[in-house]
Structure 1
Amino acid sequence: MCRNLELYFFFGCGCGGGGGGRRVQQQRLKRQDSLYGDAEKVSNTKYHGSEGSWSRLLHLAFQSVGIIYGDVGTSPLYAISSTFPDGVKNPDDLLGVLSLILYTLILIPMVKYVFIVLYADDNGDGGTFALYSLISRHAKVRLIPNQQDEDAMVSNYGIEARSSQLRRAQWLKQKLESSKAAKIGLFTITILGTSMVMGDGTLTPAISVLSAVSGIKEKVPSLTETQVVWISVPILFALFSVQRYGTDKVGYSFAPIITVWFVLIAGIGIYNLVVHDIGVLRAFNPMYIVDYFRRNGKDGWVSLGGVILCVTGTEGMFADLSHFNIKAIQISFNTILFPSVVLCYMGQTAYLRKFPEDVADIFFRSIPALMFWPTFVIAILSAIIASQAMLSGAFAILSKALSLGCFPSVQVIHTSNSYEGQVYIPEVNFLMGLASIIVTITFRTTTEIGNAYGICVVTVFSITTHLTTIVMLLIWKKKFVFVFLFYIVFSSIELIYLSSILTKFVQGGYLPFCFSLVLMALMMTWHYVHVNKYWYELDHIVPTDEVTALLKKHDVRRIPGVGLLYSDLVQGIPLVFPRLMQKIPSVHSVFLFMSIKHLPIPHVAPVERFLFRQVGPREHRMFRCVARYGYSDMLEESGLFKGFLMERLKMFIQDEAAFETNPTTGATNTQTCSEGSACPITFDGNSDLVEKEKQLIDMEMERGVVYLMGEANVIAAPTSSIVKKIVVDYVYTFLRKNLTEGEKTLSIPKDELLKVGITYEI
């Protein structure tokens, strides 16, 4: 087995690819100049549902029904009624719309997502930011320059090439890395997709709950539209209030309820087919689509804004991928969701062939009288679950954006020990809940909310298509014909649907654009200042080899305990350290320059968490440490973090002794290794010294740990433009002061924190 050891490795050892062989020829044990990770033990981290028996797979498939299909499964509540807002003008139009619904379900959720896009996961995670991080791991497209060669050594970082189309992939990589416009464009469409998913999470509760509650008017026709709205508002309030408990607390009730829902809608669909018009099965003939557009022209094109609502929530299959696996989703979609919703749409169409005047309330009108109240209750519960699923997906995607420096530092609460992707963000939940209630009160009907909802859905579809196309070319290295067909087919379909929905921009379609513009402005402002702040710190770092002179210049004394100075930098000494020496000329007996670094991968194995480097002479006991996390990893609480950090530091000191100069000969310990053998390492009598250093660390740890952080006040330079001054001095400052502070995000105890104020002009 080929080994990569902390701070040293055997040159020429073949660790990549599929052969597993190695080439060891006249190798020399050599020190690395940059931080180098402990990759001796390659992690075999398993993601939820990554492996297992068929019984386990079927269990996951059943659970996925409740967590990710609530939204697309409740679309029969409003899809057909939204397609015919002015009533059915021709009975044959029903067959045309049914045919459109059938082939939309087949092409977008089934073919595109279930059988293609799901495979573009980032080590088990999905969503727009997972696609972005997957691309950024293979091409340096991120705007912040904190990528290191060592990062590519962690076990989850690499991905095996899937074909031999290397030349085209290298050309694309070069274009992406050399073009700042391409980097900005890629980042922009990623945050646009995230903004639209957030809009989806806001509108899903509004349209789902309002659609379900409106069914009560069938039994209580005296209820007004306003009364239905005010019945929906408390349900929405309760829905957003329970988010703090997480989906894991009620997860086991989700799948049975949604399964009952699917059984009900499938049974009702079969009933309506048999009783009213089984001839609607003819809609599988795509010629009915051609006839529909020929007959209705522009009106048929405009009606596509309602048809697309049949696939709302499809992105949730991809966003919530980390909870399950691809096979589980494929099984549940093809055996449960697809047959159920197709039968429901067929049944509604069969009913409308006899009673076209009931199209506005088609779902509840088509329910047999004996089944109304059970179906109504299950519809309410399913609407709540549909909303829950989309909110969980929105929180998960936003937490990934936060980890990549694209969102203000808000508190992310992990609500499940079983599902790493299930998170809750209090501030965002409050704002989304408030927005959802305001939308419900303002728009009142599902038709106008549907206009806004459709724009969110199709925009996210389109962004996923574009990012997946890049993945196909850059990473999968698929043949050009396959990639071309994928892009042309799905981008054309989505463009047609988007052009239709935009005709209803004034009738509610403007809502997601306004919402997305605000959220995008917030994300771009934060990321812009974050990147510039990083560059400012990088341009003003103190070289590591000058730390001794710095300590002598300020006559710094050593005090008991362990000090951790946090910085975004992964190299050099941060600017805040000299300022600290000026104000308080003292340094703890053991001192670490700490950087928390989020890699564009979902997980980093704990054994690969910390990278260390000695700073200055050994007697200074000063170290550089980078703690690396994936965007789905949870930061440990303070006590656990300190203990793990000190243990890894002691291991580093022990390994570092392997590079000590031989005191008798003054020569560096180098050897020639034969094929198939590892170079032995000797400590040259330094064992006692190593043990004393480890004991010293334990002793200083008991005396206490102090966290130091720079309180950076970022302002625009005097020569900056008015726009830049507004963005930096007002918008960014407002976000930084009113959202969660860094020490809370890092779980740092307040009584162990010392802040050092500093101002940056960018």
Structure 2
Amino acid sequence: MSNTNTRAVTGAGLLVALGIIYGDIGTSPLYVMKAIVGNRPISQVLVYGGISCVFWTLTLQTTVKYVILTLQADNNGEGGIFSLYTLIRRRATWLVIPAMIGGAALLADGIITPPISVASAIEGLRILYPHLPTVPIVIAIITGIFLLQSFGTQVVGKIFGPVMLLWFSMLGILGAASILYHPAVLHALNPMFAYELLVNYPGGFWLLGAVFLCTTGAEALYSDLGHCGRPNIRVSWIFVKTCLLLNYFGQGAWLMQQEGERVQTNPFYGLMPGWFLLIGISIATVAAIIASQALISGSFTLISEATRLNLWPKVKIMFPTNLQGQLFVPSINRLLWIGCVGIVLHFRESANMEAAYGLAITLAMISTTILLSYFLYARVKVAGIAIMVFCFYLLLEGSFLFANLEKFPHGGWVSLLMASLLLSVMYVWIKAFDIKRRLTEDVRLKKYLPALKELSTDKSVPKYATHLIYMTSAQHPREIESKIMYSIFQKRPKRADIYWFLHVNTTDSPYTMEYKVRIIEPADVVRIDFMLGFRVEQRINLFFRKVVEELVRQGEVDITSRYESLSRHNVIGDFRFVVLEKFLSYENDLPFKEQRIMEMYYFIKQFLPSETEWFGLDTSDVTVEKVPIIIRPVDLPELKRIK
């Protein structure tokens, strides 16, 4: 795969960037100024200060931190918090903590963004139809978006770019036209207006929670790096930021014409002439749908990466189209749909959603700051630069977090609750994985090679399969789990002509597809190590077949059946996978904390696809064996024999 960041800036690339990357941040003018103004009397301090805060937030947070700094942290062209984590995870194990917090917060953001975007757009219809019930319309649109996910977005995605180009052009034109009526609003570029609002305006500091909404899509911007490359993102951001700022300043100019009043109309729609309202609302609704689509697709990618990194349960992942990176996760689709509908039914109005929005995503941004600072230190080896970036953005985002805490009793607890639940699942999964890995007993394979050769030729034992394949988690090629040897020799002796041991190693590069073959015992024992990127589907059945075909062509293995009657006719022998599914043994005396973790792990696991489905194995050629995990045997009581 070519590095996406070497792509030249092209018209097509810029159009793709507009359609995929800026949906979330691009629809923020629908609700940001409305949230800042609220029901307060319009004044110069409020309007100019609010716009000044928005301008400097988009400049310092979105432009400098994400577009300039964070986009440098590309993992072979891929972005996102888990891609950033894989770049540095081997340097410090504790970095998994901010990675998990950031990932959980981003998923929670994916639940609240579609409702607030779609609701803000649809509520514009109330200007024309004051008594229109918007909740059923919003739920219907959101449901339609989620129903379409299983078909993929290959066709729909082609119109995203032109529609978002129309959307941003509309934002810029409406804003510029409004500025002409009150050009003095451009004075808000002066950061002193922001200072005046935050320090001297009553309750002004807490308005940072509303201001923060203008940059909530910055994380999505980084996550979508792989779709069109760094140069296209940076160039298209110039156009996007210009249009956004024109619209924000235009809303400010319109608000200043209502100075002294309490404005009930959304200033975004206040910019539109009456004849254009229905058209503008329609374009806004389509833009909100595109923004929702981008967040949902980003959530699927996030879960796929987390699964490969053992930070999330092994859920079913589908690939509805041929586009690289486009996937569909049914369980997450259902989870997000239930969450979005629940948000709409609970808050009902976009104004109420604004009170809850932003708290979780602030945690994601702070997590990215921690990982980015560590990345910068590891890359440039200058601690001063990394420390300055860390301190500056921790102070900035800490201020946003503190201001957003004011939202907690007004609905912010909902997003934090969702993020906490998602984080709990991640915590259980990674801790259970560590417990199992730490206490899995590996043995030297060399010790069992003579016995394997004898069993292979022992005709007194019925042949189990010509080719017997086990999935092994043993990292060292000369080792194997004791449970596999137990399965071969003791569970039920399994005679085979060739024993294959397959190991999958998830690499830090996103799209690695490599393998290494070790002929441990000619004609008897073969080990294959697959090195697969954290964004590669683990279709082991297909990969294994391709490897075997290559080995046969090279003359390294003979897969012809060794039954005399079949061998004479060059019939290929049968292949059978044996999958060992572990369960928690009752013979355990675990510490209380580990016992609860393992119980929760297996409770979740019962609702998930089997190992067979996860590895993409052909179910007609798979045997599943249950094996107990005895983490610490209980102390057996002494039994006294009597005569």
TM-score by length of 2: 0.91
Find out whether 1:404 has 2:309 as its counterpart. Answer: yes
Following TM superposition, by how much is the alpha carbon of 1:213 offset from its aligned partner in structure 2, in angstroms? 0.8
Find out whether 1:573 has 2:480 as its counterpart. Answer: yes
CA 228–560 in structure 1, closer or farther in 2 if over 3 Å, else same:
closer
CA 719–585 in structure 1, closer or farther in 2 if over 3 Å, else same:
closer
> Distance between the aligned counterparts of 2:431 and 2:585, measured in 1?
13
Q: Deviations over 1:509-567 (max 9, x none)?
A: 11122111111111111221122212222x24353332323664896665653221112
CA contact under 8 A between 2:561 and 2:574: conserved in structure 1?
Answer: no
Match of residue 60 from structure 1: 13
Q: Work out which of the residue numbers 580, 600, 605 in structure 2 matches 1:710.
A: 580
**DSSP-derived class of the 1:305 partner:** helix
> Distance between the aligned counterparts of 2:43 and 2:270, measured in 1?
20
Match of residue 46 from structure 1: 2
CA 544–516 in structure 1, closer or farther in 2 if over 3 Å, else same:
farther
Find out whether 1:509 has 2:417 as its counterpart. Answer: no
Match of residue 425 from structure 2: 522
**DSSP-derived class of the 2:312 partner:** coil
Where do residues 388-403 of structure 1 align in structure 2 (5 Å cutoff)?
388-403=293-308
Q: Work out which of the residue numbers 331, 334, 339 in structure 2 matches 1:427.
A: 331
CA 256–399 in structure 1, closer or farther in 2 if over 3 Å, else same:
same
CA contact under 8 A between 2:42 and 2:256: conserved in structure 1?
Answer: no
CA contact under 8 A between 1:410 and 1:427: conserved in structure 2?
Answer: yes
Following TM superposition, by how much is the alpha carbon of 1:490 offset from its aligned partner in structure 2, in angstroms? 1.5
Q: Deviations over 1:263-296 (max 9, x none)?
A: 111111111111x311100111111112223321
CA 692–79 in structure 1, closer or farther in 2 if over 3 Å, else same:
closer
> Distance between the aligned counterparts of 2:423 and 2:55, measured in 1?
34
> Distance between the aligned counterparts of 1:496 and 1:718, measured in 2?
48
> Distance between the aligned counterparts of 1:341 and 1:61, measured in 2?
17
Find out whether 1:194 has 2:103 as its counterpart. Answer: yes
752-761 vs 563-572, which deviates more?
563-572
Match of residue 758 from structure 1: 627
Match of residue 235 from structure 1: 141
> Distance between the aligned counterparts of 1:643 and 1:293, measured in 2?
64
CA contact under 8 A between 1:243 and 1:424: conserved in structure 2?
Answer: yes
Following TM superposition, by how much is the alpha carbon of 1:466 offset from its aligned partner in structure 2, in angstroms? 0.7
CA 717–436 in structure 1, closer or farther in 2 if over 3 Å, else same:
farther
Q: Deviations over 1:620-661 (max 9, x none)?
A: x211211120011123473x424312034447xx6xxxxxxx
Where do residues 465-476 of structure 1 align in structure 2 (5 Å cutoff)?
465-474=369-378, 476=379
Q: Deviations over 1:428-460 (max 9, x none)?
A: 110111011001110112233223321122111
Q: Deviations over 1:222-280 (max 9, x none)?
A: 23xxx211221111111111111223231111011111111111111111111x31110
> Distance between the aligned counterparts of 2:61 and 2:586, measured in 1?
46
CA contact under 8 A between 1:567 and 1:709: conserved in structure 2?
Answer: no
Q: Deviations over 1:575-622 (max 9, x none)?
A: 2332232233233222211112212221214xxx2122233x424x21
Where do residues 635-650 of structure 1 align in structure 2 (5 Å cutoff)?
635-636=538-539, 638=541, 640-650=542-552
Structure 2, gaps ≥5 residues long: 632-643
Find out whether 1:596 has 2:504 as its counterpart. Answer: yes
CA contact under 8 A between 2:316 and 2:329: conserved in structure 1?
Answer: yes
Q: Work out which of the residue numbers 370, 389, 395 in structure 2 matches 1:486.
A: 389
Q: Work out which of the residue numbers 579, 583, 589 in structure 2 matches 1:719.
A: 589
Match of residue 120 from structure 1: 73
> Distance between the aligned counterparts of 1:273 and 1:745, measured in 2?
56
87-96 vs 461-470, which deviates more?
87-96
> Distance between the aligned counterparts of 1:751 and 1:307, measured in 2?
57
Root-mean-square deviation (CA, aligned residues, Å) is 2.3
CA 701–438 in structure 1, closer or farther in 2 if over 3 Å, else same:
farther
The code of the aligned residue for 2:301 comes to: A
Match of residue 414 from structure 1: 319
250-259 vs 713-722, which deviates more?
713-722
The code of the aligned residue for 1:752 comes to: D
The code of the aligned residue for 2:480 comes to: I
Match of residue 745 from structure 1: 614
CA 79–707 in structure 1, closer or farther in 2 if over 3 Å, else same:
same
Match of residue 147 from structure 1: none
> Distance between the aligned counterparts of 1:260 and 1:726, measured in 2?
53
Where do residues 301-450 of structure 1 align in structure 2 (5 Å cutoff)?
301-334=205-238, 336-355=239-258, 356-358=261-263, 360-418=265-323, 420-450=324-354
CA 187–294 in structure 1, closer or farther in 2 if over 3 Å, else same:
closer
Match of residue 55 from structure 2: 102
CA contact under 8 A between 1:99 and 1:283: conserved in structure 2?
Answer: yes
Q: Work out which of the residue numbers 149, 152, 168 in structure 2 matches 1:246.
A: 152
Find out whether 1:221 has 2:221 as its counterpart. Answer: no
Q: Work out which of the residue numbers 277, 301, 309 in structure 1 matches 2:182.
A: 277
CA 80–589 in structure 1, closer or farther in 2 if over 3 Å, else same:
same
Q: Work out which of the residue numbers 86, 90, 93 in structure 1 matches 2:43.
A: 90
> Distance between the aligned counterparts of 2:587 and 2:442, measured in 1?
16
Following TM superposition, by how much is the alpha carbon of 1:716 offset from its aligned partner in structure 2, in angstroms? 7.1
> Distance between the aligned counterparts of 2:146 and 2:232, measured in 1?
28
Q: Deviations over 1:201-232 (max 9, x none)?
A: 11111100111111100000123xxx211221
TM-score by length of 1: 0.77
CA 238–520 in structure 1, closer or farther in 2 if over 3 Å, else same:
same
CA contact under 8 A between 1:65 and 1:258: conserved in structure 2?
Answer: yes
The count of residues paired between Structure 1 and Structure 2 equals 618
CA contact under 8 A between 2:466 and 2:574: conserved in structure 1?
Answer: yes
Q: Deviations over 1:111-160 (max 9, x none)?
A: 111111001011111111111111025x2xxxxxxxxxxxxxxxxxxxxx
Q: Deviations over 1:288-344 (max 9, x none)?
A: 1122233215x111111000101121111111111111001001111x210111000
CA 691–495 in structure 1, closer or farther in 2 if over 3 Å, else same:
closer
CA 53–73 in structure 1, closer or farther in 2 if over 3 Å, else same:
closer
The code of the aligned residue for 1:720 comes to: L
The code of the aligned residue for 1:272 comes to: S
**DSSP-derived class of the 1:738 partner:** coil
CA 715–249 in structure 1, closer or farther in 2 if over 3 Å, else same:
farther
The code of the aligned residue for 2:486 comes to: P
Match of residue 515 from structure 2: 610
Structure 1, gaps ≥5 residues long: 1-44, 140-175, 177-182, 655-689
CA contact under 8 A between 1:87 and 1:359: conserved in structure 2?
Answer: no
Following TM superposition, by how much is the alpha carbon of 1:692 offset from its aligned partner in structure 2, in angstroms? 7.7
Q: Deviations over 1:143-193 (max 9, x none)?
A: xxxxxxxxxxxxxxxxxxxxxxxxxxxxxxxxx3xxxxxx2x421221111
**DSSP-derived class of the 2:365 partner:** helix
> Distance between the aligned counterparts of 1:479 and 1:188, measured in 2?
24
**DSSP-derived class of the 2:157 partner:** helix
The code of the aligned residue for 1:330 comes to: R
Match of residue 585 from structure 1: 493
CA contact under 8 A between 2:377 and 2:385: conserved in structure 1?
Answer: no
693-702 vs 276-285, which deviates more?
693-702
> Distance between the aligned counterparts of 2:582 and 2:462, measured in 1?
25
CA 535–717 in structure 1, closer or farther in 2 if over 3 Å, else same:
farther
> Distance between the aligned counterparts of 2:173 and 2:67, measured in 1?
25
> Distance between the aligned counterparts of 2:248 and 2:518, measured in 1?
63
Match of residue 166 from structure 1: none
Q: Work out which of the residue numbers 420, 425, 448 in structure 2 matches 1:546.
A: 448
The code of the aligned residue for 1:503 comes to: E
**DSSP-derived class of the 1:330 partner:** helix
Where do residues 204-215 of structure 1 align in structure 2 (5 Å cutoff)?
204-215=113-124
Q: Deviations over 1:46-101 (max 9, x none)?
A: 14x444555xx331111110111011010000001111223235333200111000
CA 691–196 in structure 1, closer or farther in 2 if over 3 Å, else same:
closer
